[in-house]
Amino acid sequence: MMVCPVSYHDDVPDEPDEPDKPGEPGEPGGGRGDRVASAVDRRAVMAGLAGAGCVLAWPTADTLGRSDVDGVRRRLVQRSDAYARADPEAWTAAGGSGFAAMQTLGVERLRYERVRAASGRVWARTAYRFGGFDVSPAGVDQAWAREGARSVRRVGGVAAPWEWPGVSARRGTGLLVGVGRPSVLDEASRLAEGAAQEVAAAFGTAPVRPVVLLPPDGAAFAAASGVAEGGAAAVTVGPVRDGRATGCDRVVLHPSVWGELVSEGRRVVLTHELAHLALRRDTSGVSPRWLEEGLCEHVAYAASTLPAAVIAAQMKPSMARTSRGPTPRPGARAASSPNAPARRSWSRSPAPYRPTRRSLACSRGRPASRSSCVAIRDGTCAIW
């Protein structure tokens, strides 16, 4: 048996390596007929090989080559160019979707970077900015496959926020991008506004302009934050360079845990995370983690009406986990898979205590079993 490798995917061969000249693709005299004829000839050759007993070896997960990567790269460039021109028809023709959602969210400077083959797929970093909020590009790693002559489709990786079904935005001092009932999004946006003012007053600095994400479910939270589901109400993530945030941080809320919180708990969570944003913006270098976390907790609880004993009981386990000596605040994240950011360091802040309906009921003396309490001080039960 003879095996014949085939490096050809589409019915119509790729466009030339050089960019198309204006007006050429699909127009008379633009070379389209020659390429179609070439495709017919190629199919005839392959049919002859198959008839001669040659087993055609089509590209597999282990045989992606430069032509596959270059083919995806060209199509992604066409997509980004269509978006830059605000041309929804060209965007859709290039396999794009969610154009209206992207415009609503204020997505700007879309581009596709670091196109490469890895793990049997062609990957690219989808870089973008939320206009008026990001000062450097954010991004997600996504896997792509060619589809037809000029189109690509996403086949893996992390969904960008505009790809979340039913996503919408709220704007103010910050930007809230999320999925949920309008009342939930409105409240989260309002609490973020208040938290930004609390942090500014505490630190004596300009208010942060947070980008807060409320994903549709726990899986989307884990993908957007890089943190496995484990009860965290929120996490702050973003690239850092030379010990300082680059200016595209995200506060990612866990939708299920967020839904369990009372308004006071939500305020505490957001104030804590926005305190991290202010520290990441205005400081750099190595600091004891217990100091940073303690400072964020202090700011978060400064306006709280909870009893001091309850607050102290909740903070103790968190402080114990962060009191193991000075560590670089921007923790390194290994780029060991296509979904991990390359050549950048990311930092995350652990979630603070979050008062839930149940924990507040406990702290006010209403029934709760001792086994369900995380801490008991002076007969006061606290749960998180």
d(CA 357, CA 315): 18
- Inside any domain, residue 382: no
Verify that 295 and 181 share a domain, yes or no. Answer: yes
The verdict on residue 380 lying in a domain is no
Judge if 122 and 156 occupy the same domain. yes
Co-location of 13 and 44 in the same domain? yes
Q: Taking 70 as the threshold, does the pLDDT of residue 183 lie above it?
A: yes
Same-domain status, 74 and 181:
no
119-156 burial, b at 16+ Cβ within 10 Å, e below that, comes to eebbbbbbbbbbeebbeebbbbbbbbbbeebbbbebeb
Q: Dig out the tokens for 318 from the structure.
A: 């968190």
Specify the CATH number for the domain of residue 120: 3.10.450
* pLDDT, tens digit (0-9, with 9 covering 90-100), for 232-262: 899 999 998 877 889 999 999 999 999 999 8
Tell whether 300 is covered by a domain: yes
Q: What is the pLDDT of residues 285-312, one digit of tens each?
A: 667 888 888 899 999 988 877 777 777 7
Same domain, 176 and 325: yes
Q: In this structure, what CATH number is given to the domain that contains residue 319?
A: 3.40.390
Residue 42 lies in a domain: yes
Q: Give the pLDDT of residue 14.
A: 37
Could you tell me the residue range of the domain that residue 42 belongs to? 1-21+30-58
Could you tell me if 47 and 107 lie in one domain?
A: no
Length of the chain: 384
For residue range 111-147, what is the model confidence (pLDDT) as tens digits? 999 999 998 899 999 999 999 999 999 999 999 999 8
Output the pTM of the full model: 0.69
- In terms of domains, do 232 and 198 share one? yes
Domain end, chosen from 40, 58, 76, is at 58
Indicate whether 366 belongs to any domain: no
242: number of Cβ within 10 Å:
9
Same domain, 156 and 177: no
Per-residue pLDDT reduced to its tens digit, 97-118 = 999 999 999 999 999 999 999 9
Give CA separation, 1 vs 49, 52, 58, 221, 331, in Å: 12, 10, 16, 50, 54
Euclidean distance between CA atoms 178 and 181, whole angstroms: 10
Distances (CA, A) of 361 to 12, 199, 309, 311, 376: 66, 28, 15, 14, 14
What domain count does the chain have? 3
Spatial separation of the C-alpha atoms in residues 48 and 270, rounded to whole Å: 66
Question: What one-letter code names the amino acid at 209?
Answer: R
